[in-house]
Structure 1
Amino acid sequence: MGKEALLALVNNAALLITFVVLYTVFYVKSTTSRQIPRQIISGFLLGMVTVGVMLNSWQLSPGVVFDTRSVALGLIGLFFGFIPSMISASMAVGLRILMGGEGTIPGISTILSSVSVGLIWQHHKRRDSCDRSLLELYLFGIVVHVFMLLCMLLLPSQSRETFFEIAALPVMIVYPAATMIVGWAMTGQIARKRGEAAESELASTSERLAVIVKNSPVAIISLDLDYKVTSWNEAAEEIFGWKCSEVLGKPLPYILETQKEDYERMNVETLKGLPVRGERFAQRTKDGREIIIKVYNAPIRDENGNLEGIFGILEDVTEQHKAELALKESELRFRKLYMNMNIGVAIYRVINEGDDVVFLDMNPSGCRITGVNREEILGRSVKAIFPSVVELGLYQRLIEVWKTSRPMHHPVRRYKDERIDFWADNYIYPDRSHEVVAIFEDVTQRELMLEELERRVKNRTEELEAANKELESFAYSVSHDLRAPLRAINGFSKIISDRYMSSLPEEGQRYLGFISKAGGDMSDLIDGLLEYSRIGRSSIHLNELPLKSIVDDCIATLNRRIEEEGAEVSIITDLPTVYANQSLLKRAVTNLLQNALTYHNVGSRPIVKISSKHHKGWVFLTIEDNGIGIEDRYHERIFNVFQRLHTDEEFPGTGIGLSIVKKSVLLMGGDVSLESIPGKGSKFTLKIKGV
């Protein structure tokens, strides 16, 4: 090999070194963004290097030139990929065609075979570029140049013989080695760059880890093999109270004497490779507070796997521990209640999208009430255990609660089948998904007692109604029969008064006056008693009545009396339509107005205010006066027949008026109430059905 060929090889080697630079710039340091433009640019630059290699060739014979294009193109295919390889190969083929000569076809074949071997090798041996060994690179160089030798068979015979005689052996010695060296340099660049990236990432990770440890909400500590503290984060300071400077190089300060053996055991297990996960200990902090911590331990090893210490994460679970204890206590309390309560509790699961309901559990009282054994019903259909549950309506109610997730009350019903017969009251509510709970009570005795009470009440009511009718008939008959002799007494008294008054002595005149007054009082009393007894004797019909018209009629009826007393009667609110009996309502209102005009303070002018309000379907008609008032102890008594609080000399009356008011309102389905302040007046309120 002459000086010219040697110089060409040196130039080729220098150009091949630029591959390392290009690969570092475009593929090692570059990011993955803009990948296609990067490959195109690198392809043109690599093509230029390949062209440079070809321009620094040496001539073996006229038209037959040699260079390291096979090394360059093989490495381009192996390291740079398809797009750069095609661009570089195209530029090399173009140059070789321009160069011409009898070696054109073998040259182009070498270009295409070299880049193809590189691409095929990269495709079939997919791996990280930095993982390619020197041996692999050398074998790759041999394969590339074996194909190069095959391409040389296309040379004319004389040139082919000259090549194989002079250049074949040096090519197979030098070119694979050159391929290996340049490929190894490129691989080294990758490894170096990745090492730098790994160191940077390690440093960044270490910094992040340090920040995480420092700001962690849980205590993170580490111990050496003598169980002395080597690290102590801020959370540990906050939880236990000791500063990092107070504990470094010392045993853990929070371990109680009673727990040293447990901690020794835990540390030994950790160093044996048995990590501790969530073991709890009661501890004392620096200020003497008792806390509960949960411990997670793991061994620390160096890069050679040797034990260096213990890494621990400690969480303050004091509040959680208290909550768990409270929950357990609550569960135990409710479990005792569930097992010992006197009412039944059954837990069901709805299955097959509502096609059936099965038993999950039933408490002892439920089993006693229904006469079943808990073990025999678990998992079985409700309909199989209690065949009449559908007829009872309870089964459908269970499904409704499951569908709506709303609690429901299943009213008292009698359950009866061939085995049991009892009355039950059920309250049903949803529990967890597809679960329903029924709380039920055996109310058989209560229902039987209620039936008996209802029967007795009905019988007693019938007896009382009959007695009342008899009393009313008796009162009516007595009152009616008393009218004839009373009329005779009053009539003869008047005759004596008219004919013989002047001839009677003064004492006789006084006695005759007593007889006349007594007769008048007796007549008023009989009239009132007859009116009271007539109320309710005929059927009561309720109609829609304008309350304003009723009140106006009552005021008109008493107009003369109002004028005599100098009274002021006013309606201060609108009066709505009511649902009542006209006769009964007029009696009630008239009697209340009469009382307001009668029972007033001497020398004062009666003032009567009439108002109403509508509430929840009822009309409350109020008649308020400024009279003498009534003490609280008499509020019930005054509504009884013949009950009077004053003498005839104080206020005239029969003691029947308020009895007529109450009876009239009760017969219409309403009620009457009283509010009064002695000396200031009374307020009577009638409760009447509204429209």
Structure 2
Amino acid sequence: MPGLPIILDFLHNTILLLALGALYGTIQQYPDTLGRKLTTGFFIGMITVGLIANPWQLAPGVIFDSRSILLSVGGAFFGFIPTLVAAGISALYRLYLSGPGTLPGVLTILASGLLGLALKKYGPGRVYQLSGWVWYAFGFGVQTVVLLLMFTMPTELALPALRNITVPTLIIYPVVTVLLAKLLAAQEAHIRRKLALDTSERQYRELVQQSRVIILQIDREGKVTFINEYGQDFFGYTYEELVGQKVVGTIVPEVDSSGRNLGEMIDTALQTSDPFLENENENQCRDGRRVRIQWKNTPLYDASFEYAGLHCIGHDVTELRRAEAILKSKEQYLQLLLELVPIPLLILEGHREITYANRAFTDLFGYTLTEFSTLADWRLRAFPDEAYRDRVEKNFADAVMQARQAGKPIETQALSVTCQDGSVREVLARYASIEDKEIVVFNDITREREIDRMKSEFIATAAHELRTPLASIKGFAELLLAEKTFVEEQRDEYLTIIYDKSEVLERVIDDLLDISRVEAGRLIHIEKQPCDIRAQIAASVHAYQKEFRQRRLELDWPDQGPREILVDPYKIEQVMENLLSNAVKFSGPDSPIRVRGTFSDQDIRIEVRDEGIGMEKKDLDRIFDKFYRVDSSDTAVPGMGLGMGIVKGILEAHGGHIEVESVPGKGTTVSFSLPLEKDARP
């Protein structure tokens, strides 16, 4: 058969060509350096020379081989430098062989390499990922170019050669191109998969060994099968010391500091892991330190999908829990401090939700946090009048805007707050913001406002009390100066009036001096001397009975008991005058006033009781306050609101005390005691 040698040469070329695949995997294992590229080019060049050395000869000097497949596919896979080296070696060898096919042979070498490089750079994707059809088309294109290059020979040589090789070349060579490309692509994919696997394993090892968490694996018997380097360093054990050992007794104590049985917990977790997928417990280090570890556990399964143990990732939360305990302690301390501080305050979040109200707030207003949760709820209770509530909200909004514009704290707001019991407290509200929280501090100024009001009333009352006797003194003095003809009896009468009114002025001034001493924290000055207390009290009762003849005053005094004690008679007279004056003022003309004395081994007790209008508890609580009067209206009983405060001061200066009991509509009982002093020295 005349075509048999050509077919045999063709198969020989194909076998040699496919041998390149065996070398590719070995070459690609070495680092991608210039040396590797030059070596690769040399090997490809030598294989190409081998292909050229085993061609089929179409005519003397006209040879044909599969170098185009090798160089085109090699260019696509190996790149510029190896292709350049291989093409150079192949071209030199073809020049060495010479003959009429030298020019198309050299051009075939160069064209094949360039086409391979073009596919690598401009192809539709990575060469090892290209489909078989792409490679077939590429191979068909390369062989078409090679066949066209045959026309660089004389026509009489080119045409016969083309008649012999065109059909087998265009049919077989693209298929061989596909086979060689797929072989190299398979090698490349395998290398890349292996590289990716090696990289993944290296990264996993680095992640496991170098991560700042404890990675631990234990089997169903509770023995350690793996622990990473961080875990070894953390607990103070080597890998060999832990692996194969029970986890309980090494890094897990049998019982933690709180008495929890960790051995039982581990046994339960190894039998049923679901309740312990996340768990925090105490662990122990080799040096005996106890630490808190937060574990996240994942069940492990063997090849037959049987439960084999736990994969545990642990985070050291010892310092975190210690910090939380300190923070909790400080929060409790702050909570206690806020509860004990006598200043009412609220804490809000987002100017809406009230999250805290201290005890002083509840004591002042009567509201508790359970009764409201938002600022709007509290405002409905604190400001029941809608118009006033709207005004409060507007004033606050204006204050916030002004504070933001000026870059200053919110201006203090004056509020009238309705308490839970219906009473109204005058307060100053101060606001401070910390991030999204707001603190509202209330300063109760109700008493200050009341004192200011009482001071104003006192000034008006005192002016009246002073003006009345002064008017009498001035009037009678002017009358005596203007008229010299008064008889002696009439003159003495006018002088007596002047004297009496001056005593009234003196008592008012003495009251003012006494109350100023009490306010300054000093005792009222007294001068003790032996005094017949029964006679002193009887004289006071008799004087009032004489002045108010229509009133019924009763004195009940026992016959037995001490009569003479050490007191300041003038001050005791002042006490009785105040108490009897109040009893007369605040009881009806037909109701009796009873004065009663009793004795004990330590003191003498004197009681003044009337059946008058009585007092409410709120008035009773403030009866000794300076300037306070039960009824301060224009129709009220005259007085400056100093008497009871002075009475208390006088009795305390004597070492005694005073008590007041009153029932509205039934009357008032004032009792005071004076100590019995055997030594009668003043």
TM-score (norm 1): 0.45
